[in-house]
Amino acid sequence: MTENVSLPERLEATFLTSAPDLKRCPPNGGAEVAFAGRSNAGKSSVLNQLTGNRRTAKVSKTPGRTQLMNFFDVRTGGRMVDLPGYGYAKAGKEAQKNWQNAVNHYLSYRDALVGIVLVMDIRHPNQAFDKQMLDWASASELPIRVLLNKADKLSNGAQKQELNKMRNLYKEHPTVSFQTFSASRGTGKPDLIATLLEWLSLPIDAEDAEEAVPHNELGHQP
């Protein structure tokens, strides 16, 4: 964990805008951290816990609630972006494909993106989408913090076991880090806030990079 005496207890953030695809995203306005993960893993809940405001991002018992990319301005600088969840089966195939493409494009081409918070349910970690995301982020050398969320659902011992298992699986991936988290209780929040503040103060790619060239494109398997 990062030692920081002046670590804030929360990251104040306000809703900026929603976008259905990359070209309708707001102009770059500082470093962005994206919150990704399977539908219902708790992305929106994590954001609300971080900001200390239950109404920052919508939370639902119905998976697939977040269907647009939602941008939030962090008061101290930079932005957080709540992405639509992967694998929401009840949405029409076409709708699902469209927003998955939008997310893949955003992740592959957004110059302002400096890091990803990948939210998993600690009881079902490392599913197909999670693996793809971790491999892609490693290949792109993009820092990625995995939250093993809903840790409150497991005993301390079982939490540690899952954490060690995941760390072990990805020990060859230097840009990937793991922590347990509980969006309901706030467990793991200081660690995440320290990481986010570090990422959000990173300089973003020069804006003269007119044609953004990704290291590779997410979702396009050879």
Ligand X SMILES: Nc1nc2c(ncn2[C@@H]2O[C@H](COP(=O)(O)OP(=O)(O)OP(=O)(O)O)[C@@H](O)[C@H]2O)c(=O)[nH]1
* Count of residues in contact with Mg ion, rule CB under 5 A: 3
Among 182, 188, 193, 196, binds ligand X (CB under 6 A): 182
For the purposes of burial, counting CB atoms within 10 Å of the CB of 26, is it exposed (0-12), middle (13-18) or buried (19 or more)?
Answer: middle
Q: What is the dihedral of CA 168, 174, 176, 180, to 10 degrees?
A: 50
CA 14-199-44 angle, to 5 degrees, is 40
User: Which of ligand X, Mg ion, none does 167 bind, CB closer than 5 to 8 A by kind?
Assistant: none
Among positions 100-119, residues that touch ligand X (CB under 6 A) are none
Among 131, 153, 160, 165, binds ligand X (CB under 6 A): 153
For the purposes of burial, counting CB atoms within 10 Å of the CB of 56, is it exposed (0-12), middle (13-18) or buried (19 or more)?
Answer: buried
User: Which of Mg ion, ligand X, none does 161 bind, CB closer than 5 to 8 A by kind?
Assistant: none
- Give me the residue label for tokens 């990625």: 144
Nearest CB to ligand X, comparing residues 65 and 173: 65
CA dist., res. 116 & res. 178, Å (int): 12
Least spacing, CB of residue 71 vs ligand X, in Å: 15
Site for ligand X contains 42 (CB under 6 A) = yes
Cβ-proximal residue to ligand X, closest one:
85
Site for Mg ion contains 67 (CB under 5 A) = no
- Find, among 46, 41, 123, 44, the residue nearest to 87 by Cα: 41
- Pairing type for strands 79-82 and 69-74 reads antiparallel
Strand-pairing partners, residue 4, are: none
Contact by Cβ (8 Å): 31, 72: no
Q: Which two tokens stand for residue 33?
A: 């951290």
Site for ligand X contains 18 (CB under 6 A) = no
Stretch that binds Mg ion, among 22-30, 43-51, 68-76, 175-183 (CB under 5 A): 43-51
Nearest CB to Mg ion, comparing residues 150 and 170: 150
Site for Mg ion contains 44 (CB under 5 A) = yes
Among 16, 26, 29, 65, binds ligand X (CB under 6 A): 65
Binding site for ligand X (CB under 6 A): 37, 39-45, 59-61, 63-66, 85, 88, 149-150, 152-153, 182-184
* Contact positions vs Mg ion (CB under 5 A): 43-44, 66
